[in-house]
Structure 1
Amino acid sequence: MSGTAHIYDADIDPTKQEIVARYGAITDYEGSYRLVDFQGDEVGIEVHVGRDVEGRLSQMPVTYRPAEVDPLATLTTMEHSVLGTRWVSNALGDPVAVREFIRTIVTGDDGAEYSNGVTPVLDVRGSGEEKDAEVGEVKLTEFTRQRAVGTVVINGSRRSFKLRMSNLLSPARVNATGYTTSKLRLTGVTAAGTEVIAAEFAWLDQVMK
């Protein structure tokens, strides 16, 4: 289990629905799923899910921090009645969030439970089988709203990677001549039982000592 995300009974401004509508083109908000920052518990990692104007199931990964992580990743600030001012960032531009996505995928872990008993909108799980892998520092060399490229320390060695999180949540694709979904991925299951791909991960090199 990827831990428990603490959910506060708080007033926030802007609301999450306002943030995803403004920055993620999600017009019909359905909920979220989360991962936990195991190394510091300072960074909130949340992926919002809903429908866009065309009715397509979409996601928007963000982080919440008490200070700005990278101006290029910043979306907005949020006033939280319990935690104060929080910086809301594109999660693919936040090394802590990227580390936790990698850890969840590579080790085959699942998403976090919510402390308030609410069920995450997607039941997510990584496809990897290295359950005892130690995932450490991430350094990002490039990121967009749907992709992060950089290096990560895993089992004591630094390796380069690419993490992709499409804004659209679609089933896995298998095509002999075209795009095929990566074997290392984060899969989500909706309440209706539909399986979708939340993230894809690939190593870009051999092990570097």
Structure 2
Amino acid sequence: MALIHDATLSPGKLELLAGWLPGRPWWRGDASALTKVATFRFDDPDGEVGMETFLLRGGDGPLVQVPLTYRAAPLEGAEAALVGTMEHSVLGPRWVYDACADPVHMRVLATTIAGAGREADQELATSDGTRPLPGSASVRGDGAPGLEVPGVVRPEPEDSDDATTVRLGDHVLRVQRRPGTSVDVTGAALRLRQDEGDGLVLATLT
């Protein structure tokens, strides 16, 4: 269960991304005109790291996938993947990272694909208590019976013009930055179930 606080963020998430996206080899579009199409979250089993994946458009650009992690302290060795910092009115300072460089996110993503998992359910926490918070996108892993997801110590992401690839032991996890239905899936995949682009491949695990 992902717990979302009714909080103020400074700067906002899209504001942070507008300054970070230009220059990424896979980014296409106008970063000054970002539109959030949908988001979904995964749950950290240890309850320490927030994980949120954005599906964005920049102006008239294509749909782009940007997974982020939120941490209460800097992630050692991930300086190059720091998107920025923001102040959360409930939780305090947050360090925001490209999730492809975060070991927690990459292990959870691989486990979701291999185990035919889905996105986390969400609850909104307010001063009056908590209530279910409907998500704006649903995802599902294909499942890969018998595949053991190795521990991830420090991912070394490699960006191309349409994806980010991370090696996990003998396996390769590929995050499709520009999701598509024509992606060659040789192993198992994480697929989007959402009004815009049902069945789009978001990531593959081989």
Same fold by TM (over 0.5)? Answer: yes
Q: For 2:7, give the aligned amino acid.
A: A
Q: Segments of 4+ in structure 1 off by > 4 A? A: 132-136
| Cα distance in structure 1, aligned partners of 2:153 and 2:70 | 19
Match of 2:191 in 1: 187
State the Cα RMSD in Å: 2.2
Match of 2:41 in 1: 34
Match of 2:67 in 1: 61
Deviations 1:122-177 (A, max 9, x none): 210111143x97645213352145424233xxxxxxx322211122121144xxxx
Shift of 1:187: 0.3
SS of aligned partner of 1:72: helix
Question: 1:65–1:51: structure 2 CA closer, same or farther, 3 Å change rule?
Answer: same
Match of 1:155 in 2: none
Q: Which runs of 5+ in 2 are unaligned?
A: 22-30, 125-131
One of 68, 93, 97 as aligned partner of 2:105: 97
Moved more, 54-63 or 188-197: 188-197
Q: Which runs of 5+ in 1 are unaligned?
A: 152-158, 174-179, 203-209
TM-score, scaled to structure 2: 0.80
Q: Are the counterparts in 1 of residues 17 and 83 from structure 2 also a CA contact under 8 Å?
A: no
Q: Are the counterparts in 1 of residues 115 and 144 from structure 2 also a CA contact under 8 Å?
A: yes
Question: 1:141–1:81: structure 2 CA closer, same or farther, 3 Å change rule?
Answer: closer
SS of aligned partner of 1:168: strand
Deviations 1:59-108 (A, max 9, x none): 11010001111212211011100110010001000000000000000001
Shift of 1:121: 2.6
SS of aligned partner of 1:149: strand
